[in-house]
Amino acid sequence: MARTMTNKSGWIGKVFFLDLLHGLSLTLRYMFARTVTHMYPDHEKWIPYSRHRGHHFIKTNDEGDVNCVACELCSKICPCDCIIVIPFEDAKGNRRPQVFDIDLARCLYCGLCEDACPADAIKLGQEYEISATTTEALVVHLEDLIAAPGKAENGGQVMPAKLITPDKTALKKTGKDTRTHSVTVEGTLKAAEGYDWWQRIRK
């Protein structure tokens, strides 16, 4: 932007420091713009656009079987070598994955596995809250991939959310915290009371 402006204004721009003035005016504008503080994760969370590539999920058909035919193409094309597929033949004589592991710690979220899949089975969803304290916990299995959320109907919004805090009562009684430490979205997308974050920041 600044380079284009210099080219356009030529020596006049250089003499009158137009680039500098343009930068200062931008700073000044943001000084008086409305402050936007994203209250993540306690009160709200961002739903990414549908093109976002997050946690993988495996699609299932109407009969509840996975679409995956364990052809291993995703595993072969993966540049990080982070997918392990071991096929087996199910009771109906279909080739299915017995083991389907993805090491999310190595994954680039490039989407090549999704592009290579001939059965429209593997997709990269919108889940981005996948942090863990050990690398072992980042290896997801077939059941995790089936249960993982898919694409939201419409992303690009801030949703009401709440943080699940440690269950202190359960911790005292059993020594174990039975609750998952993650963020859940309250309500559905249709019931969203969020606002368009990008619209607000541009005001």
* Residue-by-residue DSSP string for 47-99: E--TT---SEEE-B-TTS-BS-----HHHHH-TT--EEEEEEE-TTS-EEEEE
Minimal distance, residue 187 CB to ligand SF4, in Å:
30
Verify cis geometry, omega within 30 degrees of 0, for the bond prior to 87.
no
State which residue, 113 or 148, has the beta carbon closest to ligand SF4. 113
**Contact predicate 179/155, CB 8 Å:** no
State which residue, 46 or 57, has the beta carbon closest to ligand SF4. 57
Phi, psi of 85 (to 5 degrees): -125, 125
Tell whether residue 102 is a contact of ligand SF4 (CB under 6 A). Answer: yes
Q: List the one residue out of 83, 123, 73 whose CA is nearest residue 106.
A: 83
Contact segment (CB under 6 A) with ligand SF4 among 19-27, 33-41, 108-116, 135-143 equals 108-116
Tell whether residue 139 is a contact of ligand SF4 (CB under 6 A). Answer: no
Tell whether residue 140 is a contact of ligand SF4 (CB under 6 A). Answer: no
Minimal distance, residue 136 CB to ligand SF4, in Å:
17
Strand 95-103 relative to strand 139-140: parallel, antiparallel, unpaired?
A: antiparallel
* Amino acid identity at 16: F
Q: What is the DSSP letter of 136?
A: G
- Map residues 181-200 to x or -, x wherever contact with ligand SF4 holds by CB under 6 A: --------------------
Tell whether residue 70 is a contact of ligand SF4 (CB under 6 A). Answer: yes
Q: Which two three-digit tokens encode residue 183?
A: 């963020």
Tell whether residue 84 is a contact of ligand SF4 (CB under 6 A). Answer: no
Separation CA 63–CA 92 (nearest Å)? 12
Contacts of 176 (CB under 8 A, 6+ apart): 170
Tell whether residue 68 is a contact of ligand SF4 (CB under 6 A). Answer: yes
Minimal distance, residue 118 CB to ligand SF4, in Å:
6
- Map residues 28-67 to x or -, x wherever contact with ligand SF4 holds by CB under 6 A: ----------------------------------------
Tell whether residue 111 is a contact of ligand SF4 (CB under 6 A). Answer: yes
What does the binding site for ligand SF4 look like in residue numbers (CB under 6 A)? Answer: 68-74, 78-80, 82-83, 85, 102, 107-113, 116-117, 119, 121-122
